[in-house]
Amino acid sequence: MEFTHLDKDQRPTMVDVSTKIPSERSATAECFVHLGPKIMAALAESGWSSKKGPILDTAIIAGTMGAKKTAELVPFCHPLNLKSVKIDIAPVDDTRLRIEARVKVCDQTGVEMEALTAASVAALTVYDMCKAVSKSIVIENTRLVEKTGGKSDYKHSQ
């Protein structure tokens, strides 16, 4: 197994993508926010709003901003000119929300980290906006669901 972010002397380095031809690439990531039945019911009753504002809309905006700032947060990520960031947040049952982030680019490297960052930042925003009600909120199962473009495609098998 070879890690791409190490040079021949095993020192950390950014991968050189300068000779790669730009191509369409996409990635989808997801995570779940376990709020519990009490918070979920209260949020549904309030129209998904709190004193801090509209929770889901704010999380979508924050997740989009997170995707755009990934290269500032993760040391060896390349700055990318993202073409699309779409975030969906919906209840999956009476205790959890599912956050899905889909990111697209036409570039020399993929957008897996941007999708993962978008989902994570959206989840952190939900946590921040709900933490006054409970500190027992859990963000769980952040993962890459699918990626296309580059050397190979990937789809997480359920």
Catalytic residues: 128
Q: Which DSSP state fits 28?
A: E
DSSP-assigned letters across all residues of 40-58: HHHHHHTTSEETTEEHHHH
| Cα distances (angstroms) measured from residue 39 to each of 56, 107, 115 | 14, 41, 26
Find all residues with CB under 8 Å of 143, minimum gap 6, and list them: 29, 30, 31, 116, 156
User: Quick check: helix, strand or coil at residue 131?
Assistant: coil
Of 32, 89, 102, 19, the residue nearest 58 (C-alpha): 89
